Amino acid sequence: MIRIGLMSVLVGLLSLGAAVVGWTADKDGSRLTIVSPTEGAVIKGDSVKVQYKLSKGTEATHIHCYVDGEYQKGFKGVVKGLARGSHEIKVVAASHDHDALGAEAVVTIEVE
């Protein structure tokens, strides 16, 4: 009976991470996930809303966004001007001084 209860708890804990896309934690305790778009999402049009969850540690205050390795200056939650094809979207936790921290999340999308 205890074994069944333990397995139920383990399965439940594992399923909590099922919707999380590529998260990492930093030494300051920050955690970052991309909620949307999901890995492999097909996007119609040339823009996509990027929703993320940042659990701030002792240093993180905001995120920086990169598309195909290029910093998205002034990022306000929407990436615009995407050409057709595959694109990597990466968000990185940053400090008040804009220093990149170790917490980051990455997804690859396809634009039609």
List the pLDDT tens digit at each of the 112 positions of the chain.
444 443 443 434 333 443 334 445 557 789 999 999 999 999 999 999 999 999 988 899 999 999 999 999 999 999 999 999 999 999 999 999 999 999 999 999 999 9
The answer to whether residue 2 sits within a structural domain is no
The answer to whether residue 85 sits within a structural domain is yes
Looking at the structure of the chain, the number of domains it has is 1
Its sign, for the CA torsion 44, 49, 53, 58, is: positive
| DSSP state string for 15-83 | HHTTT-EEEEE-TTS-EEEEEESPTT-EE-SS-EE-EEEEE--SSEEEEEEEETTEE-TT--SEE--PP
The answer to whether residue 6 sits within a structural domain is no
The answer to whether residue 97 sits within a structural domain is yes
- What was the pLDDT predicted at 18? 36
Put the strands of the sheet holding 31-36 in their side by side order: 21-25, 31-36, 51-55
Classify residue 81 as exposed, middle or buried by CB count within 10 Å of its CB (0-12, 13-18, 19+). Answer: exposed
The answer to whether residue 62 sits within a structural domain is yes
The answer to whether residue 12 sits within a structural domain is no
- What was the pLDDT predicted at 45? 94
* Parent domain of 72: 20-111
Q: 15 phi and psi, to 5 degrees?
A: -70, -20
The answer to whether residue 93 sits within a structural domain is yes
The answer to whether residue 63 sits within a structural domain is yes
Write the CATH number for 89.
Answer: 2.60.40.10
